Each structure stands twice: as C-alpha cells, then as structure tokens.
C-alpha cells in the first residue's frame, strides 16, 4: 500500500509500505476512505513530538471501511463504515475505568494513531482496540460530515468547551482561529454563549472566523474587545487553541476574575504562568487531550443540522494519492488559505 511516512528533520514521503496485518485479537484492519492533515502532524514533522520515531506513518483523523476483524472484537463487522478516534483505549485500565480513555496506559492505548502506531494517512490501517477506537458511521452521513470528529471537533468540545464549562449567556474568547479554534467556536455555540470572540493573527483566518464567531479581532485588539463586551470584567472563558506560550499567556490576561482558561494547544515550549497577577484572580486552568466520549453526541448534532463541520473544509482532493499536494497546501496557509483538507471519498477536486 501507499502511505505518508515521517522521515525525521521535517522530511516525509508518500511511499510503498507493507499492508497492515492483525497483530492482536482486538485489532481491526480498515480501508481508509477519507483522511485529513492536522496541525499536530506539522508539530511532528518539525520534531516537536520527539518520541515519534522516523518511519512512522502519520495521520490520526480518518474514516474507513472494516476489511477484517480480530477474534476478540465484538461490535464490528466486515463492511462497516467507521470513524477513527484519535485515541485508543483498552477499556480496562485505571484511567479507562474512570472514562479518561485518552490516558489509557495499555501499551496500545492513548494517542496511538500516527503517533505510537502507524496512522491513517495511508490506504489501509490497523486499528488497535478496535471496539473502542472506531465509531460506526450512519449510512446517510458522508465522510466529510464525520471525519472532523476523529480529533478537532471532539477536542474542541471535550478539552475546550466541556472542561471550561461554558454556560448560556457567557462570553467565550477563543485564541487561535485555525481548524481547532474554529471547531471549538462551532461546538461552543451548542451551549448558547452570549458572545464568542475569535482572536487570530492571520487576516485570512480572521475572514474565515467571521462565520464562526460574533467578534473577530487581532491579538492587539483583543483586550479592548473583550473588555467592551464584558463591561471591563474580562471573558468568562478563554480557550487556547494554538499551542504557543504567547497565546496561553494571552488567555490568562483576557479571562475575568473567577473565569476559566482551557488549554487545547499542543505545546513544545514552556509558557510563563504570571502568578504575580493571577494569584488573586481565582481562575481555573485546565489542560488535556480528548477522551473521545462525545463523538456519538456530536454525530447526532451534525445529523440534525445543528452542527455543520463541512464548513471547515477548504481543500478537497479526490484521492489519498494526492497526499503530498495536500501537505504542500496545508503547510502554507498564508498563500493557500488552507483550513481542513479532505482527501479521498471521491471528494470533489475543485481545489486539487
């Protein structure tokens, strides 16, 4: 099969690899029907996730069709259309028992796909703990409608909106209007906040953010915009969706006394916690990765039309074999305005 392989030092190649095989009874093999690229893949390529070794097939967001199941699987059948979760879970360990599936301590648990194990930027993939790691896709839903539930939309919901406990009538500021930031704004809307404020450096991304947020500003304008929306108090909730020290520190500045800061971004460098100002602010800071407990809820919201993830797609390539072209577009968003890139499923190739 062909797959996108990480070769270290920023290098990658779409090349021939061995077809995946069932290794454990709880595995399944899928044909990948659609795949996409995530900011996390770029962090890996930059060397920002040093424990990921060269030779790894990248990709943790995708949909597929089950081709083969191990004897230990019980909920899947050959031919099922499935969504891949970005985290795998054994269902038995201390963390799985408390619903923290993303922290599963099994050797094939936690963030596996395109990280500890070969991922889904490939024609075929082995999925560990398949019963827990795959979500069946209703026949009347397209791959594009569900694929962003592999990671970004569930991450925005679980790590951003739910951890920050967004409430009706609140002011929510999201710092970063890339794919994860926009997903977070879309799912925050489900809780009816009064105002969603998007803070974004790139003018092109600010344009896209206007269809997700009520107020869209540059980082320099953010403090004034937040104060004017909140009678000078600050945001009830500030969500970090970039993964840089500056954006995390900015969230701590924009949040009101007693407010909540939820960090979503993957950080490769330390950030400063300004306790000299925060010690009296009574704020709550949360971090985490998704546990992937909510894909089925968001699936229903999408099916009913309350949530439309397809707004995130900026580029479509009909074939997975266009992976290198897709990376080229995704790595240069300033020139291409890339947001999410859908590959496969015969996705219309208007931008291909």
In the complex with Zn ion, the residue whose CB is nearer, 38 or 58, is 38
Does residue 290 sit in helix, strand or coil? coil
Q: In the range 57-96, which residues lie near Zn ion by CB under 5 A?
A: 89-90, 93, 96
Q: Which long-range contacts (CB under 8 A, 24 or more apart) does 138-143 make?
A: 138/299, 138/303, 139/81, 140/303, 141/299, 141/302, 141/303, 142/345, 143/33, 143/34, 143/63, 143/342, 143/344, 143/345, 143/347
38 near Zn ion, judged by CB under 5 A: yes
In the complex with Zn ion, the residue whose CB is nearer, 96 or 185, is 96
37 near Zn ion, judged by CB under 5 A: no
List the end-to-end C-alpha distance of the chain, in Å, as a whole number. Answer: 22
Local structure of residue 53 (DSSP, 8 states): P
In the complex with Zn ion, the residue whose CB is nearer, 226 or 262, is 262
Kindly give the residue spans of alpha helices, DSSP state H, lying in 244-294. Answer: 245-254, 275-278
In the complex with Zn ion, the residue whose CB is nearer, 154 or 162, is 154
- Cβ 179 to Zn ion shortest distance, Å: 8
181 near Zn ion, judged by CB under 5 A: no
- Select the residue interacting with Zn ion from 102, 109, 119, 181 (CB under 5 A): 109
- Cβ 97 to Zn ion shortest distance, Å: 8
Does residue 168 sit in helix, strand or coil? coil
Residue range at the interface with Zn ion (CB under 5 A); choices 97-105, 113-121, 219-227, 306-314? 97-105
On whether the CB atoms of residues 186 and 121 are closer than 8 A, the answer is no
Q: Which residue in this structure is represented by tokens 């020290």?
A: 245
On whether the CB atoms of residues 178 and 38 are closer than 8 A, the answer is no
- Cβ 150 to Zn ion shortest distance, Å: 7
On whether the CB atoms of residues 278 and 234 are closer than 8 A, the answer is no
- Cβ 133 to Zn ion shortest distance, Å: 11
40 near Zn ion, judged by CB under 5 A: yes
Residue nearest to Zn ion (CB): 38
In the complex with Zn ion, the residue whose CB is nearer, 96 or 146, is 96
Short-list 144, 167, 341, 182, CA closest to 264: 182
On whether the CB atoms of residues 202 and 149 are closer than 8 A, the answer is no
264 near Zn ion, judged by CB under 5 A: no
Query: Could you write out the DSSP letters of every residue in 120-157?
Result: SSBSEEEETTHHHHEEEPPTTS-HHHHGGGTTHHHHII
| Count of residues interacting with Zn ion (CB under 5 A) | 10
In the complex with Zn ion, the residue whose CB is nearer, 93 or 204, is 93
- Cβ 94 to Zn ion shortest distance, Å: 8
- Cβ 90 to Zn ion shortest distance, Å: 4
In the complex with Zn ion, the residue whose CB is nearer, 40 or 345, is 40
Q: In the range 273-292, which residues lie near Zn ion by CB under 5 A?
A: none
104 near Zn ion, judged by CB under 5 A: yes
- Select the residue interacting with Zn ion from 33, 68, 108, 151 (CB under 5 A): 151
Please state the length of the chain.
352
Tokens of 106: 């099994």
Give the binding site for Zn ion (CB under 5 A): 38, 40, 89-90, 93, 96, 104, 106, 109, 151
């Amino acid at each position: 099969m062909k797959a996108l392989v990480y070769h270290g030092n920023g290098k990658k190649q779409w090349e021939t690899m061995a077809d995946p095989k069932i290794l454990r009874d709880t595995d399944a093999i899928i044909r990948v029907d659609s795949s996409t690229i995530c900011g996390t893949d770029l962090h890996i390529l930059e060397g920002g996730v040093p424990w990921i070794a060269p030779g790894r097939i990248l990709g943790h967001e995708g949909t597929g069709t089950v081709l083969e199941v191990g004897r230990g699987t019980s909920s899947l059948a050959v031919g099922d259309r499935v969504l891949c979760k970005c985290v795998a879970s054994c269902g038995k360990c201390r963390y799985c028992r408390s619903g923290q599936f993303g922290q599963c301590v099994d050797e094939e648990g936690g963030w596996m796909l395109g990280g500890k194990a070969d991922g889904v930027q490939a024609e075929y993939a082995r999925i560990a703990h398949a019963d827990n790691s795959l979500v069946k896709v209703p026949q009347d839903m397209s791959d594009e409608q569900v694929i962003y539930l592999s990671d970004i939309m569930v991450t925005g919901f679980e790590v951003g909106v739910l951890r920050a406990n967004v409430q009706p009538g609140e002011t929510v500021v999201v710092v970063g209007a890339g794919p994860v930031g926009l997903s977070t704004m879309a799912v925050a809307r489900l809780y009816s906040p009064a105002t969603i404020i998007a803070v974004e450096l790139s003018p092109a991304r600010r344009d896209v953010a206007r269809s997700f947020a009520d107020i869209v500003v540059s980082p320099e304008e953010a403090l004034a915009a937040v104060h004017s929306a909140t009678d000078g108090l600050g945001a009830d909730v500030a969500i970090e969706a970039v993964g840089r020290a500056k954006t995390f520190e900015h969230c701590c500045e924009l949040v009101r006394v007693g407010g909540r800061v939820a960090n979503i971004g993957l950080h490769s460098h330390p950030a400063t916690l300004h306790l000299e100002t925060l010690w009296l602010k009574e704020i709550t800071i949360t971090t985490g990765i998704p546990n992937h407990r909510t894909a089925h809820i968001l699936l229903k919201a999408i099916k009913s039309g309350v949530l439309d993830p397809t707004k995130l797609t900026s580029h479509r390539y009909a074939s997975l074999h266009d992976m290198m072209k897709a990376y080229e577009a995704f790595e240069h968003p300033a020139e291409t305005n890339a947001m999410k890139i859908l590959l496969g499923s015969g996705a219309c190739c208007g931008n291909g």
